[in-house]
Homo-oligomer: A and B are copies of this chain.
Amino acid sequence: MARKRHFGEIDGLAVGQTFTSRKEVAEAELHLPLIAGISGGESEGADSIVMSGGYEDDEDFGDVIIYTGEGGNDPNTKRQVDHQKWDLRNQALRVSESNGLPVRVIRGAQLKSPFAPSEGYRYDGLYFVSRSWSEQGNAGFLICRFELIREDATPPVWPSRSDAQPADPGASPRVRSTIQRIIRNTQIAQDVKEIHEYTCQICGTQIQLDGRLYAEACHIKPLGRPHNGPDVPENILCLCPNCHVRFDRGAFVVSAKLEVRDRVGAEFEGVRIRTNGRHHPDARFFSYHEGLHPQDNRESQS
Contacts and interface: CB of A to CB of B under 8 A. Distances in A.
A297 B86 contact: yes
B151 A210 contact: no
Contacts of A299: 85
Interface of A: 8-9, 59, 61, 64, 66, 82-87, 91, 97-102, 126, 128, 130-135, 142, 144-145, 147, 149, 151, 153-155, 160, 162, 172, 174-187, 205, 207-212, 214, 216, 222-226, 228, 231, 240-242, 244-246, 248-251, 263-265, 291-294, 297-299, 301-302
Contact of A183 (B66, B126, B162, B181): B181
B85 A135 contact: no
A109 to B, nearest CB: 25
A9 B151 contact: no
A131 B298 CA distance: 17
Given A86-B298, A179-B100, A131 B162 contact: no
A134 B294 contact: yes
B133 A293 contact: yes
Nearest to A101: B178
13 contacts: A83-B297, A85-B298, A85-B299, A102-B178, A134-B292, A134-B294, A151-B178, A155-B160, A176-B186, A177-B231, A179-B185, A181-B216, A214-B249
A137 to B, nearest CB: 11
A155 B165 CA distance: 13
Nearest to A188: B175
A126 B179 CA distance: 10
B210 A250 contact: yes
B294 A226 contact: no
Copies in the complex: 2
A179 B183 contact: yes
A142 B294 contact: yes
Contacts of A223: 175, 177
A226 B131 CA distance: 11
A185 B176 contact: no
Given A59-B225, A101-B178, A181-B183, 6 more contacts: A132-B249, A135-B291, A153-B162, A180-B184, A207-B245, A207-B251
A193 B228 CA distance: 34
B180 A183 contact: yes
A295 to B, nearest CB: 9
Contact of A242 (B66, B180, B207, B226): B207
The listed residue with most B CB atoms (<10 A of its CB), out of A66, A85, A178, A242, is A178
Nearest to A175: B231
A274 B205 CA distance: 22
A162 B160 CA distance: 13
Contacts of A59: 225-226
A132 B293 CA distance: 9
